[in-house]
Chains A and B, each alone.
Chain A
Amino acid sequence: MPYLCKDCRYYLPVDVFTGICKITRAKLTPDDAFCEKSEKIPKCKFCEHFTPERDYLGLCMGNTLCYPDLVAAKCADFTWEKQP
């Protein structure tokens, strides 16, 4: 899966179109590609409790609606998915 700036913990969203890199202060878009300094931010799609369903939707713990791009940094149950 190619990671994008919107998946990075150093991405500071200004609006739905643009953001700022917290490290370099460069202007970015959420759909720009990861750079060498990027680090993933906890999101549902990176959580081992996440099961993808149809486009942009999924289940948490197999039974609760969630969506892959939901930031889960403050979710008590977030657990990084195990890398294959």
Chain B
Amino acid sequence: MNDHDLSTTSYYGDQPGELISDREPKPEPSLRAKKARDLYFEAKSSASMEFPYWYTRRWDELDGEIPVIRRAEALKAGFEHLTPVIYPGELLAMGKASYLRGSYPMPWLSEAFFMAAEDKLYREAQESGKLTADRFTTMGKGGGNVTKSTGNVISIAGKFGLRVEEMPAMLEVAKKWKDRSVDDIGHKYEQMVPGYKEKEALMRSVICMFDSGYTLPQGREVINYYYPLQFGISGIIRNCEESLTEAAGYPSMDRLYFFKAVIIVLEGIQKWIRNYAGEAHLMASLAVEEKERTELLEMAGRLEWLSENSPRSFHDALQLNWIFHVAVLNEDAISGLSPGRVGQILYPFWQRDMKNGVIDREKTLELLEIMRVKFTEIDCFASMGVVGGVLSGNTFNNLCLGGLQKDGTSATNELELLILQAGITCDTPQPTLSVLYDEKLPEEFLLKGVECTKIGTGYPAWVNNRVAMEFLQSNYGHEGLDVEEARAWSIGGCLETSPGSWMPLELDGEIHWIPGGSAPATSVGVHFLSLPKLLEVALFDGMDMRTGERIFPSHGYRMENYEEIWNAFKDYFSRACHLLTLTNNIQHDAWRKISPSLVNSLLKPDCLATGKDIGQMGSRYNTTFNIETCGTANLINSLAALKKNIFTEHIFSLDDYRNALLANFGYKNALESGSYSLVDQVPTPDYDHWKKIHKASLDAPKFGNDNPFVDSIMKAWEEWFCSMAHNYRSLYDQPMYACQISVSTHGPMGAVTLAGADGRLSGTTFSDGSVSAYPGTDRNGPYALFNSATCWNHSLSQNSQLNLKIHPSVVKGREGSRKFLELIRAYLRKGGFHVQFNIVDSRMLRQAQSEPEKYRSLLVRVAGFTQYWVELGKQIQDEVIARTEYEAL
């Protein structure tokens, strides 16, 4: 490496040609989908108060009622008062709120972050460290984000617009939840954990990104559509009425209240659906064209039917799935509610419709395109640190394809090919797609997946079926998960391996085993831990040198050898895990008591059988809490540089390094330079003084190059982390496990971290994922990167994440597709869990950064999700630009 590396994108292979290469041309969506997507492009994220107003009003009316009944009545009031909106040309009706990208605050979870900055609630939240990440998050400035208040619109969290006439109501309703919200109740009791003040310091330093119990208490899981598809809403109500009579007066009385609560909330959902049917009738009465009138009347009829019954057709089934998807999203702040293996769940309906001539491929494709636009409309109302710093505005609805059937044969089908085709013709961020790769999957299907990935959508991601099944059997075997059930898995959220179950869908007298989610939220527990920041604090004996605050007590090591640095890091990491596990368990306990899940619970096997919601371990599988980390490659590279330069070659002392890190190697901080990667950084007048140590740091071996020295450090870290995570127990008294995805946290977490011994500069974004190389440091080609990434057993962890950026010319044409598939196969056959791609010319991204208005529809892959470039913050944009671009495979 040399100085030149700081000012340009790195390439593996030849430099690209002079002209910026576009991605391969792709077919257009249907006219209907195009219009729907164009309307989406025009729409801004908008919040409203209808649902929270009615929820709170009903909640207050029922003071003293059994909590789960009170919750059900409040949800019912919210659903039945939502104003229905149907947009021109829609084939799938209904949405979260009465705007196209509608969402709303849920003050029963947390009320502080959207209060005015001068409000006491807001100030208290800030002091406790709950909002520190907000301050270091850069929101995307374009697309649908309402980044500033204008006219009659107030901007909240740099993303959501709220009409000024609803603002006082929002504040008044929020204040009603003071000392009653999950956040406030959880906070009251988490302070009883010994050493609690240390937890607040962890949050203020952004060693930990956020609490999970009141921010996103559900999600990163797979929904289960089986019960509505099989029994219809009235069928579920009838089952609950029978169960209720069997529970009344007998021991385990909570079952009685649960069944009653499910009935109440389903009645609210029925009313909500019928309100939409009424709106469809109104819209039909106003329609000028006969075709539109007919479609709207069909929609009204469909909704009326589905408010009671199981679906009659593929279109019905798709609509019913969507209704329940939105219904779950409306009960909690949720990211990553994945629809799962939709193509396999709906295949029996589609197959029957095809056989009976009810539908054809063209109509199916149009419906699937419309489904994509509907999923893309989903927004999640959360604080800036969460919605921007973690989610980048994304909601992570992962649709999985491939994998195996119950009997171990390939699960893919013709409908899945059409889902991939819809992903090509109507490229939108949601639902993102993942292929559950197995050697048994047919070549035609895999090549179709490659065709989709290489047009630059960033999806499908490629995930290893075998590794996931091994992980599930290791971690859920004690709950009864066997190899057959392991095959029903799917990805929840961006990349969380989630257990599923096979459910017997009976259609025309034939049983079809369909997969669906069978566990509650994953990625709850400890979220996220910044590995480079923890190393930094270890090097400075427990101090956060950015703020001058002591985070941990002195570790007591003299740090005279590498092992002492490693041990100090491990001690602090373990200490953070211990504290955060306990405090988050309390928050989740408050959540399940105050705001228990009802809609998601009624869908998840075996809640309706046991009469317990998911918070009471009603799900079949419950070992879902985990410990999530960020910045792996920076940690490993830093440890490698310290080991080599201090303890092996004795070029520098630890104090030399401490001073260099404090001086940021003679560069300005990223917040001053405005650049969040090593590209375009600005030296200070002291630069020459630090040049030698910075160069030695950059020149030290880097992860991702098949270098045994670095890879052994990676292996030691992974084996230790994946093992120690089991020492912590979740709220449900289950062992936790390692989860290694960055999502977008590598932006804000990098922003608060000093320079690293790896040569990374202060305030710049960390490496993404967990086995991605740090941008620009993977110099030996993809296969060297694969060797490094698979130096440890990926089935020890819930996931690992690898990102590659490839120039479009490399995978061009049919030959390029085959070469690309072989590359993917090579990684997965080596035991890699996941790989995803950006097929893009980096110079196009730079151009899009300077002229965002010309690139409204440009999609990129970040870390487990695809997002519109213009809706990403600069922290993440810079990191994606800086990633090594592969010009050859």
Contact in complex: A67, B99 (CB < 8 Å): no
Contact in complex: A75, B81 (CB < 8 Å): yes
Distance (whole angstroms) from the CB of A3 to the closest CB of chain B: 14
Contact in complex: A13, B81 (CB < 8 Å): no
Contact in complex: B169, A56 (CB < 8 Å): yes
- Complex interface: chain A residues within 8 A of B283 (CB): 22
Q: Is B406 an interface residue (CB 8 A)?
A: no
User: In the assembly, what is the distance between CA of A22 and CA of B287, in Å?
Assistant: 9
- Complex interface: chain B residues within 8 A of A73 (CB): 83
Q: Is A16 an interface residue (CB 8 A)?
A: yes
Distance (whole angstroms) from the CB of B871 to the closest CB of chain A: 15
- Complex interface: chain A residues within 8 A of B115 (CB): none
Contact in complex: B50, A70 (CB < 8 Å): yes
Residue of A nearest to B160 (CB): A16
Contact in complex: B161, A16 (CB < 8 Å): yes
Contact in complex: B44, A17 (CB < 8 Å): yes
Contact in complex: A67, B165 (CB < 8 Å): yes
Contact in complex: A67, B57 (CB < 8 Å): no
Contact in complex: B168, A74 (CB < 8 Å): no
- Complex interface: chain B residues within 8 A of A22 (CB): 282-283, 286
In this complex, the member of A15, A66, A69 whose beta carbon has the largest number of chain B beta carbons within 10 angstroms is A15
Q: Is A47 an interface residue (CB 8 A)?
A: no
Q: Is B888 an interface residue (CB 8 A)?
A: no
User: In the assembly, what is the distance between CA of A55 and CA of B164, in Å?
Assistant: 10
Contact in complex: B172, A16 (CB < 8 Å): no
Known contacts A12-B87, A13-B85, A14-B100: A31-B152 contact under CB 8 Å: yes
Give B62-95 as 1s and 0s: 1 = Cβ < 8 Å from A's Cβ atoms.
Answer: 0000000000000000001111011110000000
- B81, B82, B86, B99: the one within 8 Å of A14 (CB): B99
Contact in complex: A14, B39 (CB < 8 Å): yes
Give the size category of B's interface with A: 35 or more
- B86, B88, B169: the one within 8 Å of A67 (CB): B169
User: In the assembly, what is the distance between CA of A23 and CA of B284, in Å?
Assistant: 11
Known contacts A14-B42, A15-B100, A67-B49: A23-B286 contact under CB 8 Å: yes
**Interface of A, helix, strand, loop or mixed by DSSP:** loop
- Complex interface: chain B residues within 8 A of A14 (CB): 39, 42-43, 87, 99-100
Q: Is B98 an interface residue (CB 8 A)?
A: yes
- Complex interface: chain B residues within 8 A of A10 (CB): 286
- Complex interface: chain B residues within 8 A of A17 (CB): 44, 153, 161
- Complex interface: chain A residues within 8 A of B803 (CB): none
Q: Is A20 an interface residue (CB 8 A)?
A: yes
Q: Is B497 an interface residue (CB 8 A)?
A: no
Contact in complex: A74, B83 (CB < 8 Å): yes
Distance (whole angstroms) from the CB of A27 to the closest CB of chain B: 9
- Complex interface: chain A residues within 8 A of B286 (CB): 10, 22-23
In this complex, the member of B101, B144, B161, B168 whose beta carbon has the largest number of chain A beta carbons within 10 angstroms is B168
- A18, A30, A54: the one within 8 Å of B163 (CB): A30
* Interface hits, B149-194 → A, CB 8 Å: 152-153, 161-169, 172-173, 176
Residue of B nearest to A69 (CB): B165
Number of interface residues of A (CB under 8 A): 30
User: In the assembly, what is the distance between CA of A44 and CA of B176, in Å?
Assistant: 20
Q: Is A28 an interface residue (CB 8 A)?
A: no
Distance (whole angstroms) from the CB of B687 to the closest CB of chain A: 47
Give B272-308 as 1s and 0s: 1 = Cβ < 8 Å from A's Cβ atoms.
Answer: 0001000000110010000000000000000000000
Contact in complex: A69, B43 (CB < 8 Å): no
- Complex interface: chain A residues within 8 A of B271 (CB): 74
Distance (whole angstroms) from the CB of A53 to the closest CB of chain B: 9
Q: Is B833 an interface residue (CB 8 A)?
A: no
Residue of B nearest to A31 (CB): B152
Contact in complex: B85, A16 (CB < 8 Å): no
Known contacts A16-B46, A74-B275, A75-B81: A57-B161 contact under CB 8 Å: no
User: In the assembly, what is the distance between CA of A82 and CA of B176, in Å?
Assistant: 32
Residue of A nearest to B154 (CB): A16
Residue of A nearest to B271 (CB): A74
Q: Is A33 an interface residue (CB 8 A)?
A: no
User: In the assembly, what is the distance between CA of A78 and CA of B173, in Å?
Assistant: 21
Contact in complex: B50, A57 (CB < 8 Å): no
Give A56-72 as 1s and 0s: 1 = Cβ < 8 Å from B's Cβ atoms.
Answer: 11000000111111110
Contact in complex: B42, A55 (CB < 8 Å): no
User: In the assembly, what is the distance between CA of A55 and CA of B39, in Å?
Assistant: 33
- A13, A55, A66: the one within 8 Å of B53 (CB): A66
Which residues does B use to contact A, with CB under 8 Å?
39, 42-47, 49-50, 53, 57, 80-83, 85-88, 98-101, 144, 146, 152-153, 161-169, 172-173, 176, 271, 275, 282-283, 286
